[in-house]
Structure 1
Amino acid sequence: MNDTKLPIVVAITGASGAIYAVRLIQMLCLNDQTIHLAISPSGATVIQQELGLTLDLRNLDLESLVGYVAPWTTSDDIRENAASAAAKAAELVHFHRHDDYMTPIASGSFRTSAMVICPCSGTTLSGIAHASAANLIQRAAEVHLKEHRKLVLVPRETPISVLQIENMHRIAKAGAVVLPAMPGWYQGVETIDDLVDFVVARILDQLDVENGLMRRWGE
């Protein structure tokens, strides 16, 4: 593990697209990246609905979450990656309850390299845009904005209301990256995993984390 890497904060909120978050965490673990993870109750509900995983946010089973493999997956590489990431999770992933403001990520004095909210709900988007944090996730996002660190928000909802567009505009003006979960189709899509990996690859690019999850334009 490279001890010079600063931690990355990953937050999961109550929007559809939980599989993106799981795959992102897996890839970060495979890159020996320290992660500070927070999951909102709504995020846990979506994970249960979409992935069939019931999470106890008071005693999170990191191995089950990080080792998750979607039922549609046919790739042995993805299964092996998930297993390897799960084996590293206990060392690399630090979980924080969404209502615990006493955790390191609530303060700008705790150094991080970036934060990703994936997926990002409209409520979370609004709380950050108006600097009215109602939980640790929104507070940590405000910290990244005020400290001028990379903040990546991954909304997925569609269509988008004028108010949501205005919130995205406010956040982008404040320095965040708004990265909607919009998979491309030019990279030779054959499976659902190809679409998932496209979005995750674009997130990893924003974090300057090397990956080979997708065939890039012109390659």
Structure 2
Amino acid sequence: MTKPLIIGVSGASGLIYTVRILKFLLAADYEVELVASRAAYMVWQAENRVRMPVESERQEDFWRVRAEESDRGKLRCHHWGDVGANIASGSFRTLGMIIIPCSMSTVAKIANGLSGDLIERAADVQIKEGRPLVVVPRETPFSLIHLRNLTTLAEAGVKIVPAIPAWYHHPQTIEDLVDFVVARTLDVLDIDCVPLKRWQGH
């Protein structure tokens, strides 16, 4: 049986990345453990004019509706403050963790070993256990502080996949641009479930 994958959702702009990665993972029957930070609730309302439910038991339906995947895969949602959740322990085995999108605040806290909420604790667990951790920063421009914190994570083995799309696959929609980033993010974990026109050379 495939181990679950943790998806962290921080308070950075671009929550469409979360929706699209969930869509493809659930459609491919992956098991997902999802935790959204406190700030993510405010960003969702600002970007989509919809209130995200705080109760973890209601969040599954919330995300499934937006990902348009009502019954495939497995999805378990956690409250940001539940530091006693399964994903907060190294004994809970996973495929790794992706934080998408990842705010610079979350990058800074993880880089400095701070675990104030469940996203940060789960990320810290992946690093200490030597499991894959991928962060998808969504900020521009990067300050020197941002770059130093990202470098600290990279030196600890964390993979950095900035939300930078490409154009060689001739995107026609916003989803095409988002899906490129999602596919390249999942590539880091050797997960190939996004239909993407890959570069084949000249």
TM-score category, normalised to shorter length: over 0.9
Would you say 1:63 and 2:61 are equivalent positions?
Answer: yes
Work out the percentage of aligned pairs sharing the same amino acid: 40
Task: State whether residues 35 and 79 of structure 2, in contact with CA within 8 Å, keep that contact through their aligned partners in structure 1.
Answer: yes
Would you say 1:124 and 2:121 are equivalent positions?
Answer: no
Which residue does the alignment assign to 1:25?
22
Task: State whether residues 62 and 86 of structure 1, in contact with CA within 8 Å, keep that contact through their aligned partners in structure 2.
Answer: no
CA distance in structure 1 between the partners assigned to 2:133 and 2:2 by the alignment: 17
Q: Secondary structure at the match of 1:213?
A: coil
CA distance in structure 2 between the partners assigned to 1:62 and 1:49 by the alignment: 20
CA distance in structure 1 between the partners assigned to 2:145 and 2:127 by the alignment: 21
Task: State whether residues 26 and 86 of structure 1, in contact with CA within 8 Å, keep that contact through their aligned partners in structure 2.
Answer: no
What's the CA shift string for 1:32-59, capped at 9, x where partnerless? 1111110012112112222333111124
Which residue does the alignment assign to 2:49?
52
CA distance in structure 2 between the partners assigned to 1:109 and 1:212 by the alignment: 30
**What is the one-letter code of the residue matched to 1:65?**
W
**What is the one-letter code of the residue matched to 2:136?**
V
Q: Secondary structure at the match of 2:71?
A: helix
Task: State whether residues 24 and 194 of structure 2, in contact with CA within 8 Å, keep that contact through their aligned partners in structure 1.
Answer: no
Q: Which is further off, 58-67 or 33-42? A: 58-67
Structure 2, gaps ≥5 residues long: none
Task: State whether residues 7 and 35 of structure 1, in contact with CA within 8 Å, keep that contact through their aligned partners in structure 2.
Answer: yes
**What is the one-letter code of the residue matched to 1:12?**
V
Match of 1:145 among 103, 107, 127: 127
Which residue does the alignment assign to 1:187?
169
Which residue does the alignment assign to 2:72?
88
CA distance in structure 2 between the partners assigned to 1:160 and 1:114 by the alignment: 26
Q: Considering only aligned residues, what root-mean-square deviation do their CA atoms show, in Å?
A: 1.4
Which residue does the alignment assign to 2:5?
8
What's the CA shift string for 1:39-84, capped at 9, x where partnerless? 012112112222333111124332232222xxxxxxxxxxxxx43x
What's the CA shift string for 1:5-33, capped at 9, x where partnerless? 00000010100110001110111101111
Task: State whether residues 136 and 163 of structure 2, in contact with CA within 8 Å, keep that contact through their aligned partners in structure 1.
Answer: yes
CA distance in structure 2 between the partners assigned to 1:183 and 1:196 by the alignment: 7
Structure 1, gaps ≥5 residues long: 69-81
Q: CA deviation at 1:211?
A: 2.4
Task: State whether residues 63 and 87 of structure 1, in contact with CA within 8 Å, keep that contact through their aligned partners in structure 2.
Answer: no
| Aligned positions of 1:106-121 closer than 5 A | 106-121=88-103
Q: Secondary structure at the match of 1:100?
A: coil
CA distance in structure 2 between the partners assigned to 1:195 and 1:11 by the alignment: 21
TM-score normalised according to structure 2 size: 0.94
Match of 2:180 among 192, 198, 204: 198
How many residues end up aligned between the 2 structures?
Answer: 200
CA distance in structure 1 between the partners assigned to 2:71 and 2:28 by the alignment: 13
CA distance in structure 2 between the partners assigned to 1:48 and 1:55 by the alignment: 7
CA distance in structure 2 between the partners assigned to 1:51 and 1:197 by the alignment: 19
Match of 2:36 among 35, 39, 43: 39
TM-score normalised according to structure 1 size: 0.87
Q: CA deviation at 1:162?
A: 0.3
